[in-house]
Amino acid sequence: MNYFVTGGAGFIGSNLVDRLLQGGHTVVAYDNFSTGHERFLEGAKTSSNFKLVRGDTLDVAVLTKAMRGADFVFHLAANADIRFGTLHPCRDLHQNTIATSNVLEAMRQLGICRIAFASTGSVYGEPRIFPTPEDAPFPVQTSFYGASKLAGEALIQAYCEGFNFTGYIFRFVSILGERYTHGHVFDFYKKLCQNPNELLILGGGYQRKSYLYVQDCIDGMLQGIERSSNMINIYNLGRDDHCDVNESIGWITDHMGLNPKREYTGGVRGWIGDSPFILLDTRKMRERGWTPTVSIKRGVIRTLQYFEDNPWVLEEEK
């Protein structure tokens, strides 16, 4: 198969590229390097089945040209920075919604009709049902990020219905693991490297979240695609358990051998649009044989080990 991966130099994208190449497939990675790193593709670049194209999903001409010849598109490129949505309310619209429209239009023009999309549990807003199933009550959005991803999902569904596309929509919890470059483990590790004696925590520390290890996430996407036969296939990807921010800080400080004074900004949310509790119902994926194998704690520790082995990731923060 010829795969086209937008955001192919990013955290999840580059891990996916490696997996697809290991599976004997041909891969074009498309990335604007706004948050991706070329170093993530060092392994991939040794393969003759791999090609890297530097480009933006907002540049329709370059995008369409790069996509030619693909059989299947993984659309992972996105502004994934949920926290700063209100600082630039149009960024998510452009980089997530309009970009997704561009990807779909390029596919339509090229006659490519299978797409997998990295969506997010944030589309559930602040759900009333836990664990939250794919058919939870009609959600109300609480972030620009969630709104833009929901719009991306909706566009994909319209292309499926209107142009016989096949769509695979994966709603992720936060993902952890090798090449992770933003989010709470990154922020805490970096702060603790700078000041091991104090740690400022956004919110009250009681926000409960589920985290998934990146290879489990990729297994989920690949198995979800393989084991689905509908026109539109929507799956939650997460773990059945969760931790709270304080627990996770305990693992991080224990691993680093630190005991910083914790300061809290307070409140049940860390920022506008932060969901106090994220726990997705993954029965639908599990019924298809998928099981995550790495615990949340193990995922956090592998992420820390990755930082220790790759200090450049923190220095080159984008």
Residues 271-310 that bind its own copies (CB under 8 A): 272-273
If one asks whether residue 155 binds its own copies (CB under 8 A), the answer comes out as: yes
Gyration radius of the chain's alpha carbons = 19
The token duo for 261 is 């004074």
DSSP 51: E
3-state secondary structure at position 234: strand
CB 177 within 8 A of CB 138: no
If one asks whether residue 39 binds its own copies (CB under 8 A), the answer comes out as: no
Nearer to its own copies, 144 or 251 (CB): 144
For 78-115, letters b (16+ CB in 10 Å) and e give bbbbbbebeeeeebbbebbbbbbbbbbebbeebebbbb
CB 220 within 8 A of CB 235: yes
If one asks whether residue 147 binds its own copies (CB under 8 A), the answer comes out as: yes
Nearer to its own copies, 83 or 179 (CB): 83
Nearer to its own copies, 143 or 207 (CB): 143
If one asks whether residue 76 binds its own copies (CB under 8 A), the answer comes out as: no
Q: Please choose, out of 73-81, 138-146, 201-209, 251-259, the segment that lies near its own copies by the rule CB under 8 A.
A: 138-146
CA angle, 248 then 270 then 132, to 5°? 75
If one asks whether residue 93 binds its own copies (CB under 8 A), the answer comes out as: yes
If one asks whether residue 260 binds its own copies (CB under 8 A), the answer comes out as: no
Chain residues in the site for its own copies (CB under 8 A): 85-86, 89-90, 93, 97-98, 101, 104-105, 108, 124-125, 134-144, 146-148, 150-151, 153-155, 157-159, 161-163, 232, 234, 272-273
